Amino acid sequence: MTTTTARTDRIYKSPSEFLVRPNFVDYEAERSAFSWGEVARQLGADEDDMCNIAELALDRHAMGPQRDRTAFRFVNSEIRDGEFGTEDISYGELAEQARRFTNVLRRLGIGKGDTMFVAAGRVPALYYGILGALRNGTVVSPMFSAFGPEPIATRVRLGEGTVMLTTEKLYRRKIAKVRETMPSLRHILLIDDDGSPSEVAGTLNLARLMAEVDDDAPLTPTKATDPALLHFTSGTTGTPKGAIHVHGAAVTHYATGRYALDLHPDDIYWCTADPGWVTGMSYGVIAPLLHGVTSVVDPADFDAERWYRILEQLDISVWYTAPTAIRMLMKAGPELAQQFQYPKLRFVASVGEPLNPDAVLWGRDVLGHAIHDNWWQTETGGIMIANTPAFDIKPGSMGRPLPGVDAFVVRREAGRVVIVDEPNVEGELALRVGWPSMFRGYLNNEDRYRESFSGDFYLTGDLARRDADGYFWFVGRADDVIKSAGHLIGPFEVENVLMEHAAVAEAAVIGIPDDMVGEVVHAFVTLKVGHVANEALRRELMGHARKRLGAAVAPKGIDFAEQLPHTRSGKIMRRLLKARQLGLPEGDLSTLESSS
């Protein structure tokens, strides 16, 4: 595979990039001193002993000096006179509501071993509901509130949910239609939308029940190995898989919040991911609470101006977002960004897809902070490889394995996994098993789970290479790699080069079957504001790609698109572009964002 060189190979960090002392400065020393058991002890959880995510994240603080600190700051949907109104909920208040919620479940006979499905916007009840259920030993499975009726029903059936937490509006619009197809569901708890609670047949009103129970609810004891969360994957490559996670995962969330997000207790932190997928749960709910920080929650959808305004007005210090959002901000142009200032911002990280080098640099130029890309999956439960405060960023690289994580490039040989030691050789990304947040099964798919492991290794299905400095570079998903005339081409590399062009906002590259060369590279691009799609621009882009990549790797065709199809977790669905291009069945679209 060819390798292009990023225009900036490395961003050297100066100490002034951090307004407070980073959590660690010596990567090698931290790695060699690290042990998961020690982190568990710092957190007050003994790994093999009793451990409950909600106790560590919430109950612990609610009894201590953190009691009155704001846990979540909910932003109002409307902006009045250029200002946001907010609603704060302290650690103490959140814990009280979570305890009441635990009692609501108990009163309904829901306990350990039950599964609660959640589909609600980012409102306070979603957060105390999740935590109250975890306190009760009840497994939580979050869904995007924007899912249609069928994706919701399919997941509830697969996970045999016995209770669902949702809102009145969502119930009336979607869930009522499929209620009969979810026979395992014993109770549906409705969160009120604005206005007064109304009776909806076949459901229970949450506010009413919360008022009836008291707030004394001792925790149901759980072990580190007890199931806590059921997360469905994004469905980027096929039908979403249900990944089972345990309470002990909190130990990973705590350690990675420290290393990869540089969380300090006085931070105001904004994770833009919805709790409907694993990032929004692990790093939008659990990790920030474990660290005792204040999290900002915006219930609204993406809007470039709104987001810049939130960064500025709510004094965000640590920001965790996704490439697709960054690309949309880039698309909106620098003038908008320059209308705001971000003096409190000190650390920006991204996850979910490869982060193009240009996006890393945009962060530096526009926000004043280069963006720290990090890599992980639903299956890993937490961040595994990251650009951290402790070392320089190489734009386009996912960074280095965090302390406690052993990552390798491997190849499979006669059914065995062989570690590739030489740097800069591509192969499958594998992790040595043993980190606490590793998934413990795919729901109803024991075979697939077993096939993900070989000896000591978990095989990720992603391709990567490791350079001589130990940085990992994402090449593509094993499914997406294009084989053309003897070359193996990673779509990310081609997309990065297209993104270098001033007109391009987003690019997606697929392989199209070809009799002569196996597959040819084909690209779809969207344009930034102020650029027009025409033949001249197409030729210019083809020329730019050929110059940077060589004729064998550059796209043979480029289509302009208004939008690219994304999953709700913000990933480009290349398989859908390919299916459409080839006139093949579109496959499972349950996670497709409706606007795309």
Binding site for ligand ATP (CB under 6 A): 233-238, 240-241, 351-355, 373-375, 377-378, 398, 460, 462, 474, 477, 569, 571
| 569: partner contacted, choices Mg ion, ligand ATP, none (Cβ within 5-8 A by kind) | ligand ATP
Task: Give the separation between CA 345 and CA 282, rounded to whole angstroms.
Answer: 22
- Whichever of 233 and 294 has its CB closer to Mg ion, that residue is 233
Task: Give the separation between CA 500 and CA 502, rounded to whole angstroms.
Answer: 6
Smallest distance from Mg ion to CB 490, Å: 16
- Whichever of 226 and 373 has its CB closer to ligand ATP, that residue is 373
Smallest distance from Mg ion to CB 462, Å: 8
Q: One-letter amino acid identity for 423?
A: P
Residues 236/571, Cβ–Cβ less than 8 Å: yes
Q: One-letter amino acid identity for 209?
A: L
| 74: partner contacted, choices ligand ATP, Mg ion, none (Cβ within 5-8 A by kind) | none
Smallest distance from ligand ATP to CB 479, Å: 8
Q: One-letter amino acid identity for 555?
A: P
- Whichever of 241 and 369 has its CB closer to Mg ion, that residue is 241
Smallest distance from Mg ion to CB 278, Å: 10
One symbol per residue from 180 to 219: x for binding Mg ion (CB under 5 A), - otherwise; what is it? ----------------------------------------
| 115: partner contacted, choices ligand ATP, Mg ion, none (Cβ within 5-8 A by kind) | none
b/e per residue 225-247 (b: at least 16 CB within 10 A): ebbbbbbbbbbbbeebbbbbbbb
Backbone angle region of 94, left / alpha / beta, with phi > 0 → left and psi within -120 to 50 → alpha: alpha
- Whichever of 30 and 353 has its CB closer to ligand ATP, that residue is 353
b/e per residue 489-526 (b: at least 16 CB within 10 A): bbbbbbbbbbbbbebbbbbbbbbeeeeebebbbbbbbb
Alpha carbon 141 to its chain centroid, in Å, reads: 15
| 240: partner contacted, choices Mg ion, ligand ATP, none (Cβ within 5-8 A by kind) | ligand ATP
- Whichever of 52 and 233 has its CB closer to Mg ion, that residue is 233
> Binding to Mg ion (CB under 5 A): which residues in 222-241?
233
Smallest distance from ligand ATP to CB 357, Å: 12
Task: Give the separation between CA 331 and CA 304, rounded to whole angstroms.
Answer: 9
Residue 464: both structure tokens together: 């990567």
What is the arrangement of strands in the sheet containing 385-386, beginning at the earlier edge strand? 83-90, 70-80, 294-297, 268-271, 318-321, 347-350, 372-375, 385-386, 400-401
For residue 322, what are the contacts with CB-CB under 8 A and spacing of at least 6?
Answer: 272, 273, 279, 350, 351, 352, 353, 569, 570
- Whichever of 98 and 383 has its CB closer to ligand ATP, that residue is 383
Residue 185: both structure tokens together: 């569901």
Smallest distance from Mg ion to CB 457, Å: 16
| 462: partner contacted, choices Mg ion, ligand ATP, none (Cβ within 5-8 A by kind) | ligand ATP
- Whichever of 262 and 462 has its CB closer to ligand ATP, that residue is 462
Closest CA to 453 of 439, 466, 469: 439
- Whichever of 41 and 450 has its CB closer to Mg ion, that residue is 450
| 70: partner contacted, choices Mg ion, ligand ATP, none (Cβ within 5-8 A by kind) | none
Smallest distance from ligand ATP to CB 380, Å: 8
Question: Residues in the site for Mg ion, rule: CB under 5 A?
Answer: 233
